Amino acid sequence: MSTNNMTLKTIFNHDALLRYLLYAALLLVVLIGMKEASYLFNMIFISLILTMIGAPIYYHFKNRGFSDIVAVSSVMAMYAVAILGFILLIVYSLNVFIANLTKYHELFQYRISEIFAILDNAGLHLTSLGGFTPDWANLSKYAIQFAGNTSALMMDAFFIFVITTFLFLEIPVLPKRLKKLFGGEDAINSNFQEMCNSMIKWLVVKTKTNVVLGAAFGGMLYVLGVDLAIFLGVLAIILSYIPYIGLLIVAVPAVALAWLQLGVWGVIVVVIGICIINAVVENIVFSKFAANDFNMPPLLVILSLVLWTWILGAVGMMLSVPITIMILIALKYNENTAWIPTLLGMDDNTLEDTEVGGDKGAKAKSVPAGADAGESASEDKKQ
């Protein structure tokens, strides 16, 4: 009897373990719920990230004396032009691709014959593959179907645009709500505002880096005379949010087009150019923008990529690192969860490198979340 009581006592003394198991079960339920409602969460996450990226521009207008409505309208006008331009670029690029299918077919046959000639000279005879050719009709059909989905894409873009607009309108009243919610607890307000500034700065830095990479990538293809160079450059900006494989995905069509139009030497030049651009941007440009690299452990990057792709699909793949960074920063500013980023290999010094505002909480008490990032962007522009 006493042995049974001791066993029960031992079990019920593990309150902390049971609590963590409960948290884990709750987290799993939340993630499954997010997966089921992925369409809605995709819009929310994209809108939230667009708001954070645009926050420095918003505060740039605010610092120049513009009203909240004018500042929000200016930022959303920029986003509207960018979204509309991207949709038009997709439609134009698909039309160019479909119009050049005949030319690509001829170039493919010519390049294949070159490869067979080289193999014949080397003593390898692969005549059985001589008739191989891609199904250009199906490629054209898929391209037309994708273009037909533009209306659905525009509808999604419209909802994201509306959500982002209202998120921007909430920025001016957020500090007042925090003050009302937490009262005189300046430490909580300060931590929340520093957390927002850290998220905003990291997203702005990553976006700047992607823009430089995409411009260099598209510019290289344009100089070489590769078709769809501008579209591939813009695609590189977007897909570079995907760790490790983002640039590789956009490099595949670029290398294929370079092979068709320029031959083997074109492929070699493009591959070497991609390697050089990626090395320079990741190791020099990103370091310059961010002061110190915000490096996530490779295992954590892969796990976040798999997790968010499973939950949110293709959008989760693209936003896996930004979402994970935002969560890690939020955990870091909570005393009860600050140990989690350290356990995952994110040192406190690394996370603090993204903080804006110098003395911890000094500016955050008087400046709304995101204002420090906006001032930082303004100073960079002046320099």
pLDDT of residue 267: 92
**Does position 9 have pLDDT exceeding 90, yes or no?**
no
pLDDT at 356: 38
Q: What angle do CA 145, 95, 237 make, to 5 degrees?
A: 85
Provide the residue type at 191 as one letter: N
Q: Inform me whether the pLDDT recorded for 271 exceeds 90.
A: yes
Query: How high is the pLDDT of residue 353?
Result: 46
| pLDDT value, residue 300 | 85
Instruction: Kindly list the domain boundaries of the chain, sorted by start residue.
Output: 1-36, 38-382
Max distance between CA atoms of the chain, in angstroms, equals 88
Nearest to 355 by CA among 209, 194, 208, 207: 194
Percent of the chain with pLDDT over 90: 20
pLDDT reported for residue 108: 86
195, 52 Cβ separation under 8 angstroms: no
Two tokens, residue 55: 């926050």
Q: Which of 146-155, 265-274, 343-352 has the highest mean pLDDT?
A: 265-274
Check residues 213 and 188 and name the one with the higher pLDDT.
213
Interval 171-181 mean pLDDT: 75
Is the per-residue pLDDT at 378 higher than 60?
A: no
* Exposure class string for 128-150: b at 16+ Cβ within 10 A, else e: eeeeeeeeeeeeeeebeeebeee
**pTM recorded for the entire structure:** 0.74
pLDDT (mean) for 136-149: 62
Residue 6 has pLDDT above 60, yes or no: no
Q: Tell me the pLDDT tens digit for each residue of 17-51.
A: 777 788 888 888 988 999 999 989 999 989 988 99
Residue 362, pLDDT > 90, answer: no
200-226 pLDDT, tens digit each: 887 888 888 899 999 999 999 999 999
CA distances in angstroms from 274 to 214, 295, 324, listed in the order given: 10, 21, 27
Residue 3 has pLDDT above 70, yes or no: no
